[in-house]
Chain A
Amino acid sequence: MADFFWNVRSPLDRALVAGPYGAQGDAGVTLTEVRNFDLVQVMARRGKADETAKAAQARFGVAAPETPKAVAAADATLIWSGPDQFLVLSKGGRYTVESLAPIFAGSASLSDQSHARALISVSGNKARAMLAKLSSIDLHPDVFTVGAGAATSMDHTSITLWRGGDRNGEAVFNLLVFATFAESLWHTMLDSAAEYGVTVSHSEDLA
């Protein structure tokens, strides 16, 4: 009998070529794919929104988002993904379906999305200009502040977008995209960013 084994690899494994891309000189955009994260969808059951909120508050020490935004807990990021639902993003098996199940037992339904999404981080002084070509969300610093989020579309592809903590004084935009759409969106993002010069990489660290 043949031996089967699964090779875990990023949906951007083929498309992502680390290094410089596009215009020469100082890169205006940094595109980083974050790999090997844990992502769990938490959806409150009918009439159980309050219970779900209490369970989340008790476990994470912060209130789960009830409006489009991302909330940083000590060891996870809670990202709004729709009414009565949010995503738990963490690293190193800190929060998995197995470990969250007892916490939300009876109040919310969980679904593992770890390998169903690609996580792309966009930064650099031209990040907003590049994203503005793809998104109709107002990303002005006064409007889309740190922690702001949106469930929206880019290039006809549903994404979950949020602003992470600033890095080196520059805004960082994170987006989760369906794994099977990641390559398509990645190429679109590269095209959009090419004129500013891009630094492409992948990372194991959450932004």
Chain B
Amino acid sequence: MRIVCPFCGERELGEFTYLGDAKPQRPAPDAGEDAVYDYVYLRDNIAGVMGEHWYHGGGCRTWLKVTRNTLTHEISAVEPAAGAGAGQVVK
């Protein structure tokens, strides 16, 4: 499997580290224990297209959001994760 890093180009899998599902969002501080438990521990086991976080640690050291089909390994999109390339983000 190869991933096309938006900054480096196409690279082998060995340069990347897998984090997991990119969907869970940190709950609000007052969201309660169940929401935190869900965020920390509970994961969907998706057979199909999934948004994932990958880290290009063997390259540009940027977090990426990869859209991958877990059945076929087909990658349909790769984009910088939130905060990556932060110098460009004008807020």
**For residue B61, which residues in chain A have a CB less than 8 angstroms away from its CB?**
82, 151, 158
Residue-wise, chain A 60-104 has the 8 Å CB interface mask toward B (1 for contact) of: 000000011000000000000111110000000000000000000
B11, B62, B89: the one within 8 Å of A82 (CB):
B62
Contact residues in B for A67 (Cβ distance below 8 Å): 7
> Would you call B38 an interface residue if the criterion is a C-beta within 8 Å of the partner chain's C-beta atoms?
no
- The answer to whether A83 touches B91 (Cβ under 8 A) is no
Distance to closest chain B CB from A62 (angstroms): 19
User: Which secondary structure dominates chain B's binding surface?
Assistant: loop
B88 located at the interface, meaning its Cβ lies under 8 Å from any Cβ of chain A in the complex: yes
In the complex, chain A residues whose CB is within 8 Å of the CB of B89: 46-47
Q: Interface SS of chain A: helix, strand, loop or mixed?
A: mixed
A59 proximal to B (CB < 8 A): no
Q: A14-53 vs B: 1/0 string, CB under 8 Å?
A: 0000000000000000000000000000011111110010
CB distance from A63 to the nearest CB of B (A): 15
* Stretch touching chain A among B27-35, B41-49, B52-60, B69-77: B52-60
Interface residues on A, range: 20 to 34
**Residues A81 and B60 in contact, CB atoms below 8 Å apart:** yes
A80 to B61 Cα, complex, angstroms? 12
Q: Is the CB of B88 within 8 A of A136?
A: no
Nearest CB of chain A from residue B90's CB, rounded to whole Å: 5
Q: Could you list which residues of chain A lie within 8 angstroms of chain B, going by C-beta atoms? A: 43-49, 52, 67-68, 81-85, 136, 150-153, 156, 158
Hey, which bits of chain B sit against chain A, CB under 8 A? 7-9, 11-12, 14-15, 57-62, 80, 84-91
